[in-house]
Structure 1
Amino acid sequence: MLQRTATRAHGDTSEVSELRDLRVQLEGGLEVVEAAIERYRVLTAALQKRRWKAKLRLQPAVLEAAHLAESSLPEALAPLRKRAEREPEGTGTASGIARAFEAARTALEAALARRLPMEAGASLEQRLARLRAVALRPLPLPPGENEQRLLEGTAVLPPFGVSLFVVSLCVALARFATPWAAVLLLALTLVVTFLRSGRYWLTNERVLWQPRQGDPVEVRLASLGEGQISYNLFTNSVTVGRPAITLRHVPRAGELAALLSIRRRKEFHGAAATQDFRRPVAVLPAFRTKPGDYRQDEMPDGLMVLRPDFIAYLPNASAALLLDTITEPVDGKERPAWARRDRVSVSLSLLVDQLLLLPEARMDAMLRKLATHRFGYGSASSLLWSPAEVACAFGVGTTLELSRDDVLLYWDRLSWQQHQEAARVIALWPRPEGSPEAAPVKR
């Protein structure tokens, strides 16, 4: 036993002596290789974690040093490999260190290929450069005080479509199988949809998505091209950009998708977040008919926009197609009149509301363009009138009529606010001398 202990001690002393001689011979090159091995192992362990980006952000110096050292490694490796070649059967210290280096490097390359696939010929230095750019890039922050928020929301419950489908399955399971299976399915749905969802902010410049699991991501509205926005009604999810980012199970998803479709266009860049109420403008629902022909319909035929120098009437139509009509495609390609650029529905009222947030001159120009647009066959046409050519009459607080030739536009359910806004604009219209501001309506 004493002999075996003495032999082991002699072997350890021999290895230490050989390692010391190797350090002296390589003149600092061995320390470079050993440091590279340790960095490779640390990076490989981090890349194998589920939240690997967060792990790498906790030790940025390791990743930066690994990337910067790649260019100097060949110089340090060359003498080590030569020494290993002279060792019999690869049993020496240099051979062991060379094998450890190759094993650590191979493991790191495999982990990088799994997390960040690149072309087959990419070097480790190129892969580390990409990893550094992806993992250490600054994370987007929530909107600050200087950003104008248009919409925001946090997902809590599953969307209605998913809930209805799952409840139907639960009822079937409870009836034909076991109630516990229904409870399990319901609980699983709640957990999965909750973990897959998160919070979003839409500002006048970007959309920011903070999932409950993962890093926040943002997409600049100016970077969105044609067809890069879609909305899934069943899951209440919005997909944005290239590469695609999906905002899952979010509240007001349809409105979010419509606002993204509007605000991404260059004509809406620089639009405000809230309306300037000093601007004289009134937007009212409207029935379109002939003078004296009043209807009792519940749904108006369109919207009329009152301005000091014009009146625009816009019939109910596909506002998404109208939006495509008054804006230019980002890619410059012409499309058929029936083809929408985004797979998103836009309401006419939302489109007009967003037009009112533009600078005044641009707002007027785009409203005029809308009012002169020719709609499809069988659709009522839009109208653009001059206030000087229109007969205007207010009813007893709840009705406004505008008529010209054989066309009557009226709304008989004015709210107090709508009455005030309309009266403010009408007061600025030119009138013949001695004429009243607005004649009462006789019905």
Structure 2
Amino acid sequence: MFLRSAAPAREDASEASGWEGLRLRLEGGLEVIEAALERYYELSTAIGKRSWKAKLRLRPELLDEAIESEPAVLAALASLKRRASREPETAGVLLYELEAARELLSAAVARRVRVGEQPLLSERLRRLRAVVLRPLPLLQKEGEQQVLVGEAVLPPPWLLATFLALGLLVAWLVSPWAVVPLLVPAFLVTYLRSGWYWLTTERLLWQPRRGDLVQVSLSSIRDSTRGPSGNVEKNLSVNRFTGTVTLHRQRLTLRHVPNAGLLAALLSIRRRKEFRHAGVSRDPRLIVAVVPVFRSMPEEAFGVTNGGPDGLLMLRPGSVVWFSKRFPGDILDSLTEAEQPGSPRAGRNQDDVPLSLRQLVDQLLLLPEEALDRMLRQLESRRYSKSLLDDVLVCRPAEVDCSFNTLLQTLQVSFADDARVLWANLSWEERHQVSRVLSLWPSWNEAAPAGLPEILPARR
């Protein structure tokens, strides 16, 4: 009885053709593939949206179903591949559509979360689910510390001044009541586009007022490079007028944040591998004095000077370092190695970020003393390079002639193999730091230098 009833069924299946025949031959695999294609399309569309995390959080079952059904989809995919060569018009077309949808979804996930070298779609979806459905802790790793925290309440100072000046102009030309429909939307837009940021020793976290918390590892921020066609592929940039910091490759923009210039400078420094172990406060055991100094020739050492200091002088028990304030970005690039030696870089400063010499030196002093010594030795080996010849001078205490007048609180330093003379008027705190360092030098002179004028140089 069973054999007689089964025979017509096998005969009908052999006569079936086209999609219905494929459905019968895959034995339920076609339904699995059709459901997977629908999920892949919905997931790819949601991930491509601006508020992709919010979209996925509204339908968390999409990710769960995609992850749980992956073994069944792979089994159906293997069966479909076996039939694709024999049935190109049905199985071949469906195989192409399924593989294209999987590749599109895999690429979309890789753009949103870090997946490394993981090729499996199921693992990428699990990583996406972990990012979407779990909040990001502010401190993840042991020893991770906060470097800078900021919250935007009002627009950045320059933008705020522009708004107020425009409001006063409108009030004077039109009417005071005309200021309200002009300024209220401007303040509202900048407020809604702003947010909070946390810079730690490992990551940058950004919480916009409308959206989800985003994190970027500092190690993932790369050098700006120059492509084969000559165009510069930017890495990091800042607009201090609007308070905007942009990470181009991560497609992350922090808008209207306070201290945008400082944040961008810290990112430019701390993203480099040499600063990965920098702390957030200076080691109290570190003996160092950093003073702003003027650079001049001997006959002009005590003349009238215009403008501010020419650089910073770092005094340590075993070294003396002079940094010119002209190109701090160039000095930073000389202190650090390129990510890919021999690769073309964008220019003198690898990041499109204004960097002050004081910011660079302050971060240097947050390094462990062994790392600081290693970087200064590297800088000393490059002291005669063309780019650093006039901007950096590194030597030992025995190679300098230092005159420190404790009464007038003046410091004068000359170098054995260089004609320049550096001098400074010290504050009380700087005087204490310099005295502490010089007391550890083998020999030093506290007497006033010959020809010291009775009146200190006037700064104009």
Q: Same fold (TM over 0.5)?
A: yes
Amino acid at match of 2:198: W
The offset of 1:230, in angstroms, is 0.7
Q: Residue 157 of structure 1: SS of its match in structure 2?
A: coil
- Corresponding residue number in structure 1 for 2:197: 200
Instruction: Give me the whole-angstrom Cα distance separating, in 1, the residues matched to 2:158 and 2:282.
Output: 34
Q: Residue 184 of structure 2: SS of its match in structure 1?
A: helix
Instruction: Give me the whole-angstrom Cα distance separating, in 2, the residues matched to 1:349 and 1:127.
Output: 47
- Corresponding residue number in structure 2 for 1:147: 144
Q: Residue 283 of structure 1: SS of its match in structure 2?
A: strand
Instruction: Give me the whole-angstrom Cα distance separating, in 1, the residues matched to 2:374 and 2:109.
Output: 48
1:214-293 equivalence runs, <5 A:
214-227=211-224, 228-240=235-247, 242-289=249-296, 290=298, 293=301
Q: Residue 305 of structure 1: SS of its match in structure 2?
A: strand
Instruction: Give me the whole-angstrom Cα distance separating, in 2, the residues matched to 1:363 and 1:129.
Output: 41
Amino acid at match of 1:204: T
Instruction: Give me the whole-angstrom Cα distance separating, in 2, the residues matched to 1:65 and 1:337.
Output: 46
Amino acid at match of 2:404: A
The answer (yes or no) to whether the contact 2:326–2:391 under 8 Å persists in 1 is: no
Superposed CA deviations along residues 120-174 of structure 1, whole A, max 9, x for unmatched, are xxxxxx9998666435424422236842211110011112343344344434544
From 349, 352, 366, give the equivalent of 1:343.
Answer: 352
- Corresponding residue number in structure 2 for 1:428: 440
- Corresponding residue number in structure 2 for 1:383: 393
- Corresponding residue number in structure 2 for 1:319: 328
The answer (yes or no) to whether the contact 1:291–1:407 under 8 Å persists in 2 is: no
Structure 1 pair 391–165 and aligned structure 2 pair: CA distance change class (3 A): closer
The answer (yes or no) to whether the contact 2:383–2:394 under 8 Å persists in 1 is: no
The offset of 1:264, in angstroms, is 0.9
- Corresponding residue number in structure 2 for 1:402: 413
Q: Residue 437 of structure 2: SS of its match in structure 1?
A: helix
**Which moves more between the two structures, 50-59 or 323-332?**
50-59
The answer (yes or no) to whether the contact 1:224–1:241 under 8 Å persists in 2 is: no
Instruction: Give me the whole-angstrom Cα distance separating, in 1, the residues matched to 2:343 and 2:75.
Output: 57
Q: Name which one, 1 or 2, has greater alpha-carbon Rg.
A: 1
Instruction: Give me the whole-angstrom Cα distance separating, in 2, the residues matched to 1:278 and 1:118.
Output: 45
Q: Does 1:360 align with 2:369?
A: yes
Structure 1 pair 292–160 and aligned structure 2 pair: CA distance change class (3 A): closer
Superposed CA deviations along residues 394-433 of structure 1, whole A, max 9, x for unmatched, are 2315212223455432211x122211111111111012xx
Instruction: Give me the whole-angstrom Cα distance separating, in 2, the residues matched to 1:373 and 1:415.
Output: 30
Structure 1 pair 130–187 and aligned structure 2 pair: CA distance change class (3 A): farther
Superposed CA deviations along residues 74-130 of structure 1, whole A, max 9, x for unmatched, are 999xxxxxxxxxxxxxxxxxxxxxxxxxxxxxxxx9xx99x96999xxxxxx99986
Structure 1 pair 189–64 and aligned structure 2 pair: CA distance change class (3 A): same
The answer (yes or no) to whether the contact 1:225–1:331 under 8 Å persists in 2 is: no
Amino acid at match of 1:393: F
**Which moves more between the two structures, 262-271 or 325-334?**
325-334
Among the aligned pairs, what percent are the same residue? 41
Structure 1 pair 191–73 and aligned structure 2 pair: CA distance change class (3 A): same
TM-score for both structures, normalised by structure 2? 0.67
Instruction: Give me the whole-angstrom Cα distance separating, in 1, the residues matched to 2:300 and 2:348.
Output: 39
From 113, 118, 134, give the equivalent of 2:128.
Answer: 134
1:83-232 equivalence runs, <5 A:
133-137=127-131, 138-143=134-139, 146-175=143-172, 179-227=176-224, 228-232=235-239
The answer (yes or no) to whether the contact 2:317–2:437 under 8 Å persists in 1 is: yes
The offset of 1:54, in angstroms, is 3.9
Superposed CA deviations along residues 362-399 of structure 1, whole A, max 9, x for unmatched, are 21232344465358699845333332242432231521
Structure 1 pair 275–184 and aligned structure 2 pair: CA distance change class (3 A): same
Structure 1 pair 154–74 and aligned structure 2 pair: CA distance change class (3 A): closer
Q: Does 1:305 align with 2:314?
A: yes
The offset of 1:331, in angstroms, is 3.0
Q: Residue 167 of structure 2: SS of its match in structure 1?
A: helix
The answer (yes or no) to whether the contact 1:321–1:338 under 8 Å persists in 2 is: no
Instruction: Give me the whole-angstrom Cα distance separating, in 2, the residues matched to 1:161 and 1:53.
Output: 33
- Corresponding residue number in structure 2 for 1:11: none
Aligned residues: 368
Amino acid at match of 2:424: W
Superposed CA deviations along residues 45-95 of structure 1, whole A, max 9, x for unmatched, are x9599966346446645631354247658999xxxxxxxxxxxxxxxxxxx
Superposed CA deviations along residues 183-209 of structure 1, whole A, max 9, x for unmatched, are 212111111111111011111111111
Superposed CA deviations along residues 220-245 of structure 1, whole A, max 9, x for unmatched, are 11111112211112211111252321
- List gaps (5 residues or longer) in structure 2: 1-27, 77-100, 112-119, 225-234, 454-460
Amino acid at match of 1:421: Q
Q: Residue 207 of structure 1: SS of its match in structure 2?
A: strand
Instruction: Give me the whole-angstrom Cα distance separating, in 2, the residues matched to 1:385 and 1:374.
Output: 12
Instruction: Give me the whole-angstrom Cα distance separating, in 2, the residues matched to 1:196 and 1:157.
Output: 11
Structure 1 pair 331–182 and aligned structure 2 pair: CA distance change class (3 A): farther
Q: Residue 410 of structure 1: SS of its match in structure 2?
A: strand
- List gaps (5 residues or longer) in structure 1: 1-28, 77-108, 120-125
From 377, 383, 402, give the equivalent of 1:373.
Answer: 383
Amino acid at match of 1:273: V
Instruction: Give me the whole-angstrom Cα distance separating, in 2, the residues matched to 1:118 and 1:403.
Output: 56
TM-score for both structures, normalised by structure 1? 0.70
